[in-house]
Every structure is written in C-alpha cells, then in structure tokens.
Structure 1
Amino acid sequence: MSLDVRLEGLSVGYGAAPVLERTDLEFPAGSFTALLGPSGCGKSTVLNTIAGFVRPAGGLVTAGSAPVSGPGPERGVVFQHYALFPWRTARGNVEFALKRLGLPRAERRRRALAALAEVGLAEGAEKYPAELSGGMRQRVALARALAAEPEVLLMDEPFGALDALTRTRMQALLRELWRRTGTTVLFVTHDIDEALTLAERVIVLGGAPGRVLADHPVPAGPPDPDLRSLIARHLGSE
C-alpha cells in the first residue's frame, strides 16, 4: 500500500532564518521521486517536515487525507547514518523499532526476520553491527524502516557513505523493493546520476531560502545525457 503526499504553501524556518519558501508539491501514491540540489537548499528540510520531525512555519503537509502533525508508522525514514544500537543484533535493532507499534513479541520477530530477508540479510540476522560491513548496516536500517510496513518511505542520502560498488548494489535493491511493494518513495540526494538512475521524477531545489527550480519526469531506460545536462545547468545557475 502507499499514500500520496502533498505540500501546500509549505514554508519552514529555523529561528528567524527562512529555509524553505512557500512550496507546493504533490507526490502521487506509489511514485518514486528524487529531491536533488546542493547542500543547504532545503532537501532534508522537506523530508523532515514530511516525516513530522520539523514543524512548518506556514502551510500544510498531508499524507493521504491526514495532516502531518508528527512522526507516524505510515512514514518510514532511512538516514545516511545507520543509527544502529551496537549492543543489539541486526534482528534486535529491527525488532526494537517495532515496539512503538505495540505488536506482540512473536509478531515483531516475524516482521524483523521477513524484512531482513527482503533486503538480502537473512543470514546476518544474529550478527551485531560491528560484524557487518557498511552496506550490510545500511540494509539493516532499510529493513528497520520496511518492517513497519510504511506507505511512504523517506530516504535522506542513505547511500552517500558507501563505496561505489556497494552503492550500485543498494540502488538496485531499492529499485526492486519499490517495484515489489509500490511504496511511495522520496529520495534526497545531491548526485545527479543517482537521481536519474533511481527515480521516475526529479525535483531540483536551490536557493536560500530553498525553492523549486525544476520538476522533470525521468524517461525509462539508461540515464538521459540531455536531461543530465539540463539538470546540471539548473544547479549551475545557483
């Protein structure tokens, strides 16, 4: 299942400093959208506002028909830094995140093992983070989000710290999971090639305060060099 997400006149500021000016965007249910732009343009702010971690200064955010007023299990979040408990196994980390849902222990265990299998980490379920590679730790973080069966998956540069080969593998895994689950995905990145490889739509943000510079559908197939050049020009104009 998946939800649509809407931003209506969204503006965000930290203290007296505006970070995002009035922004209207819609992310249809089941879509995969990349938010692309340089550091400080408001990409993570958009994501954190949808997640319910940041309160808007103005405007409205809705997930489905419900206004977003705080975090919720229907919106899963994956960050660049894994934030795993080192004293818990991979399974234990995923199970711990499910406690907030009030599930029985047996159901938490079932979901955790199923999510780890879904990301290809079934054999590492009883390993601790120190025993896992960076890519494996990020798989645990992804499994932790998926285990709650979210309808929206929010990802903030989750593969930025990985080496090139592992990053490519994680991108392929994410695309396959999206095709299989139909979850609405919003993926923050500053990498044009990553955005074009993963998403079916790229929104370019820029400026200070942040604003939408461009909104491009991404054609199927290998990354389009003309679209890549166009997006690079958008970013170069900032």
Structure 2
Amino acid sequence: MSRAVRLEGLAVDYGRTSRRAAVPVLDRTDLEFPAGSFTALLGPSGCGKSTLLGAVAGFVRPAAGRVAVGGTQVCGPGPDRGMVFQQYALFPWRTARGNVEFALKRFGLPRTERRRRALAALAEVGLADGVERYPAQLSGGMQQRVALARALAAEPDVLLLDEPFGALDALTRTRMQELLRRLWQRTGTTVLFVTHDIDEALALAERVVVLGGTPGRVLGDHAVPEGPADPALRARIAGHLGTG
C-alpha cells in the first residue's frame, strides 16, 4: 500500500527562543507527491531538503503550513512512514535480524510475527545468508541493506531516505541504487529520496524536485522520462543549481 504526501504552505525555522529570533530554513512550500511515486529531492547542503524530509517523517515541527499523508495531517512520527538515514545506526550487539526485530517492537507485534517480517525483509534486500551476522561482520553496503530492511519490515506507506548511499563506494552505491529501484517497482511504495547528486537523482527517480537558497525553496520540478539519460534535462537541473 502507498499514500500520497502533500505539503501545504510548509515552512520551517530553527533556533527560536524567548531571546533569539528564529532562523528560517525552509520557505513556504507547496508540493504534492502522488501515491506510489518516486521523487528525488535534490539540492546543495543547507537548502532544506533534509528538513523537508524530517517534516514529512514527523520529526520536525512546521513553523507554518502542514504536511498530510493520505489526507491526514502529520503530527509526529508514525508507522505509515519509514526512514532510512545515511548513518546506519545499527546496534552493534544485535545481529542483522535482531536489529530489524527490535525496530518492530514498537508496533506490539508478537515475537513470531516480528521474526517473520525481519527474515522476509532481509531476504528482500539480499541478506538471507547474513541474518545472524553482527554489524562488525558486515560491509558498509550490507549494513545499509540492514537499515533498509529495518524500514521495509514495518511495511510503510511512505519510504523516506536521507542520502542513504552517500558514504558508500561507487560500485556499492550503484548496486544499492539498483536494489532500491527494484524494491520500489515491486512494492509501489511512495518514495522521497534526498540527494545532492544530479546523476543519482536522474538514475533513480521519476521526478526531480530541485531546492536551493536560504531559506530553501523549490527552484525546479522536472519529470524524468524513461529510457536513456537526457543531457538536456541534466543541463536544466544543473542550471538551477548554478553548476551548469
């Protein structure tokens, strides 16, 4: 199952106190991500793309506007949204299976169901043979697969990924991109993927939303056609970022 995500006049600021004015991070933003879509949020560091993702996840409170998932306003984290970060954040004393199972405890599932989901999710990301390995026994790419499995095991309607492959080597990164694309095509989950890499955005997503400026705002919104890479589209996106 998947759900649409809608941002209505969403603005975010940080640092507001009784003695200090807030610093605007994300300007008022209106965007809609249809159910089952795969969108890349592209932009340089500091443009508000991770903040936008955090607001959808329910980790960041808006200063104005609202976020809605499936028509319901987001008021905090929820099981309908799964999050994958660049840092794996795995418990070193738990196996791959144990890490995924632990994340499922908050749903109050029986132990047998937690194990079933954990094993199924780890198999989905190609780690069926590594379920009893500890993080120290796994490569960086394999640890990120565990992090992805941890999110998938919750069977979210929306999958949020914040530069999840940024710390991986080029070959592993390409393999993880291919894996994510296959998983999205199979599950139809709504995906929002934060990146600062134009080529990664074009390789993965069917739509690229470009953010920039301070506070962050939408600079461009482009559909990505199927088939070979479009140099003209890449040039337009690079132009938004001032890298063309």
TM-score by length of 2: 0.96
Q: CA deviation at 1:29?
A: 0.1
The answer for unaligned runs of 5 or more in structure 2 is: 16-21
Where does residue 179 of structure 2 map in the other structure? 173
Q: CA deviation at 1:217?
A: 0.2
Deviates more, 1:25-34 or 1:224-233: 224-233
Query: Contact 1:35–1:188 at 8 Å: present in 2 too?
Result: yes
**2:151 corresponds to 1:133:** no
Q: CA deviation at 1:237?
A: 7.5
Aligned structure 1 segments of 4 or more residues deviating by more than 6 angstroms = none
Q: Residue 6 of structure 1 aligns to which amino acid in structure 2?
A: R
* Distance in 2 separating the partners of 1:143 and 1:225: 34
**2:66 corresponds to 1:67:** no
Percent identity (aligned): 81
Where does residue 4 of structure 1 map in the other structure? 4
The one of 65, 83, 92 aligned to 1:77: 83
Q: CA RMSD in A?
A: 1.0
Where does residue 25 of structure 2 map in the other structure? 19
Where does residue 18 of structure 2 map in the other structure? none
* Distance in 2 separating the partners of 1:128 and 1:205: 38
* Distance in 1 separating the partners of 2:216 and 2:229: 26
The one of 232, 235, 238 aligned to 1:226: 232
**2:146 corresponds to 1:143:** no
Deviation per CA, 1:97-117: give whole Å up to 9, x if none.
000000000000000000000
Deviation per CA, 1:136-161: give whole Å up to 9, x if none.
00000000000000000000000000
* Distance in 2 separating the partners of 1:69 and 1:237: 37
Deviation per CA, 1:127-181: give whole Å up to 9, x if none.
0000000000000000000000000000000000000000000000000000000
Distance 1:197 1:237, change over 3 A: closer
**2:216 corresponds to 1:206:** no
Q: CA deviation at 1:222?
A: 2.4
* Distance in 1 separating the partners of 2:110 and 2:5: 30
Where does residue 160 of structure 1 map in the other structure? 166
* Distance in 2 separating the partners of 1:4 and 1:123: 35
The answer for unaligned runs of 5 or more in structure 1 is: none
Q: Secondary structure at the match of 1:53?
A: coil
Q: Residue 11 of structure 2 aligns to which amino acid in structure 1?
A: S
The one of 98, 109, 116 aligned to 2:104: 98
* Distance in 2 separating the partners of 1:223 and 1:205: 21
The alignment covers a number of residue pairs equal to: 238
* Distance in 2 separating the partners of 1:102 and 1:66: 23
Q: Residue 114 of structure 1 aligns to which amino acid in structure 2?
A: A
Deviation per CA, 1:218-237: give whole Å up to 9, x if none.
00012211111111111007
Deviation per CA, 1:32-55: give whole Å up to 9, x if none.
000000000000000000000000
Q: Secondary structure at the match of 2:159?
A: strand
- 1:28-47 aligned at under 5 Å gives the runs 28-47=34-53
